[in-house]
Amino acid sequence: MRMRSLVALGAMAVVGWVLPASAQDSIKIGWSISKTGPFAAGASVTTLPNYQVWVKDVNDAGGIMLKSIGKRVKVEVVEYDDRSNSEEMIKAIERLATQDKVDFILPPWSTGLNLAAAPVFHQLGYPQLAVTANTNRALEMTKRWPGLSFWLGLPSELVDGLVETLTKLQKDGKIGKKVALLAVSDQFGIEQATAARAGLKKAGFELTYDRSYPLGTQDMQPVLKDAMAGSPDTMVAFSYPPDTFGITETARVIGFNPKVFFVGVGTAFPAFKGKFQANAEGVMGIGGSNADLPGVKNYIEHHRKIIGREPDRWASPITYASLQVLQQAIERVGKIDRAAVIKEINSGTFETIIGPVKLENGLNKNFWAVGQWQGNNFYGVAPVAKQGARAPIVPKPAFK
């Protein structure tokens, strides 16, 4: 793979990497991703590596088959760094469409950036596979913008899995009803905490602590000490990766050991297990995977060989699966016809590493709501009825 520089757009750093395919015989795909700024930690684990693995896999296989010209064509990539800034991201998306004239655009990382990008993708006529976005407005938005799809479940669905898990544990006598709830004051945290607050109260749980904290908070001790004061059986934190690591480390240092310790995004990252080692055992978070599923098992090893590290156990497999869906939709249409590709994505059934995927009103239903570190894998524990669901380990072993 060789590198070439492109003209910078405003403050954005930009790199275009072109794979061996002549201009007339390539499919040009672009993305704007957070390579710097507060979202870089998540994007560099979940999103960008999977874009890179998929592009390599497609081109190693000879490219994407276009029936209209009777041959496979390789993928050419144009990439921008949005610096975790919505204005920079929107400028990059517009440039990709109007100046770079890419055939397809892959989505940014985070709920906030994907929601900001949605009307732009729609106006420009591109499908938007918003994997790393969670909003209870998803059905309203996919109806308004048919090219938009969501892949990780609604906040209400993720919370349903959490409440299902906690309710069973409470009925089994493993936990009480006291819950401490905290969330990052960003779109993701607001959406998840709102759904959790309603779901937990409806299920009869008592919120002993319910606070948000600013994005970028470095010192988690004041927040956790206040949460700890209520002696909760369960702590739930809807946090971004840096916060997830900070909350867990702080809890270890101050000896905060609720029976259920739930944090995330970032809990499913291999780096979480790498940092906390035995202290990761029993920690719960959003998502999960069935690492025993052949497609997922092979994907984990394949990702490790190409990127040099394992993928996270939540959104990474689904990100790769969404790209498999995009490729299959393009090949079924047989030409670069974005409107037809959108229609196929919304109506078709696709074989992916996570199993069959068929969107319902623009929503993927093949996802995990709650996972837990058990040994060396972050296994899905809810929905309980989902194939491969593990029984949760509760109480969580005390931090050492």
Check residue 175 and give its pLDDT. Answer: 98
- Contact call for residues 150 and 364 (beta carbons, < 8 A): yes
* Full pLDDT tens readout for the chain, 400 residues: 333 333 333 334 444 443 433 444 899 999 999 999 999 989 999 999 999 999 999 999 999 999 999 999 999 999 999 999 999 999 999 999 999 999 999 999 999 999 999 999 999 999 999 999 989 899 999 999 999 999 999 989 999 999 999 999 999 999 999 999 999 998 889 989 999 999 999 999 999 999 999 998 999 999 999 999 999 999 999 999 999 999 999 999 999 999 999 998 899 999 999 999 999 999 999 999 998 999 999 999 999 999 999 999 999 999 999 999 999 999 999 999 999 999 999 999 999 999 999 999 999 999 999 999 999 999 999 999 998 999 999 999 999 9
Check residue 237 and give its pLDDT. Answer: 98
* 233, amino acid identity: D
Q: Which helix (H) or strand (E) holds 228?
A: helix 221-229
Six-digit token pair at 42?
């998540």
Six-digit token pair at 161?
């899995």
**Residues in a beta bridge with 179:** 207, 234
16 CB burial (10 A radius; 0-12, 13-18, 19+): middle
393 CB burial (10 A radius; 0-12, 13-18, 19+): middle
Q: Residue 42: how many CB atoms within 10 A of its CB?
A: 25
Check residue 181 and give its pLDDT. Answer: 98
How far is residue 215's CA from residue 337's CA, in Å, rounded to a whole number?
Answer: 40
How far is residue 234's CA from residue 258's CA, in Å, rounded to a whole number?
Answer: 5
Six-digit token pair at 313?
């156990």
Reference 230, options 247, 211, 251, 209; nearest CA is 209
Whether pTM exceeds 0.75: yes
Check residue 2 and give its pLDDT. Answer: 32
Reference 217, options 177, 256, 245; nearest CA is 245
13 CB burial (10 A radius; 0-12, 13-18, 19+): middle
Check residue 5 and give its pLDDT. Answer: 30
How far is residue 189's CA from residue 209's CA, in Å, rounded to a whole number?
Answer: 15
Check residue 15 and give its pLDDT. Answer: 43
Check residue 25 and give its pLDDT. Answer: 85
Check residue 187 and give its pLDDT. Answer: 87
